[in-house]
Amino acid sequence: MHVPLSQGEGGDGRKGVGPLIPLIPDAQRPLRQQIFERVRAAGSVARVQVAKDLGVSPASVTTITSELIEAGLIEEISAPRDIDSGRGRPAVALGVRADAHRVAGMKISDREHTVVIVDFAGKLIADDTIPRNPGPCTVADILDSIETLLDRVCNKAALSRADLSAVGIGVPGFVDGQEGIVLWSSILSERSVALADLASRKLGLPVCIDNDANLVALAELWFGAGRARADFAVVTIEHGLGMGFVMNHRLYRGTHRVGVELGHTKVQLDGALCRCGQRGCLEAYVADYALAREAATALNWGHRESQPMNLLLESLYEHAKAGNATAKSIFRRAGRYLAVGLSNVINLFDPSLIILSGERMRYDYLYAAETLAEMENMVINTGRPRPPIEIHAWGDLLWAHGAAALALSSVSEGLLTSNREIAAQ
């Protein structure tokens, strides 16, 4: 199933991005930031509506929006007809000034690297993809790939690097985004790599990084099904198994910023070896290499070890669809382990929605009716309905959009949380 990125639409047809409903009040968030985010989410909105949404005085909104207009971050646009009374001066609405800033978002992965450039209002300008050989790479190789990818997409967009305000990068593994450090990743041969700083020096631009599953959740929060929800979970199944969790419209990362690692929760003592180096991780029973391992054993496909992973898995899926009982049982077993993981997510977090995303969602055996029924049996029986589960089988551009949202958030927060920066615009 493919679900397109969705955006709210203002009365003049402008698309909005970001959470559609305000955060629970946070005294640390400046009012100008809250106002800007409401304008960005709506696409186009009248000042009086912003005041109503945030529960503040219209005078305060007028003062702050004047500052934002003067700073070149938002602009006045034609108002929707329903807020134009037809008398006196035509009503005006507010929208983000799209050309104020541009950012790039990248997904760096095991099989290919993907990039998008979006404007300040979140609209896609250009995208590109380059393949890579599987397996860990040196830091120098990854940095070269990042530079190549950025230059390619800039050429497609007819932009230079200097036209960008920031770059967001998603990486699989254990990532401390605040420190800009990749503690461990399946794509890197080294540990504890200060990737954000190294990439920033390489590109000559501010760089922010995060775990790639977190960025899928961020993409859903900004562009997709999570825009109107205060909390939800995204579980990704591709080369590994990841999870991003949104709480009060924000990514929850934990004390050390490396929490919510669903793929590395333990489901079997002394179990299968995970690529993280430990045993019994959920990922080691559900991800690509887990399915390949089972196929090699159960179907005697050891001679196919040199075959590209995607071809091997496609062959396994075709065998299952053709009625091969062993192939079907491999997917069924993985689905049962996935049911264990999903039931734990529900029992721990009680989210309003669970989104299953990633390339492996093409394999419907993983979320077959019997799998979801088994999950139901493992969820705490409260007499209340379980959260809905949606399947979003979209490609790597979604992950890159999440990285772009990370960069947009970094740029806008940097501009909006400092009085001096606003005054200096």
Catalytically active residues, by annotation = 212
Rounded distance, CA 183 to CA 191, Å? 5
Task: Give the tokens for residue 124.
Answer: 């896609």
Sign of CA dihedral 44, 50, 52, 54: positive
Question: 243 forms bridges with which residues in the sheet?
Answer: 235
Backbone angles phi, psi at 295, to 5 degrees: -65, -40
Question: 78 forms bridges with which residues in the sheet?
Answer: 92
Are residues 198 and 209 in contact, defined by beta-carbon separation less than 8 angstroms? no
Are residues 348 and 336 in contact, defined by beta-carbon separation less than 8 angstroms? no
299, 409, 295, 390: which is closest to 351 by C-alpha? 390
DSSP calls for 377-407: HHS---SSPPPPEEEE---HHHHHHHHHHHH
Rounded distance, CA 120 to CA 205, Å? 16
Rounded distance, CA 178 to CA 62, Å? 34
Q: Is 43 left (phi over 0), alpha (psi -120 to 50) or beta?
A: left
Task: Give the tokens for residue 418.
Answer: 């400092």
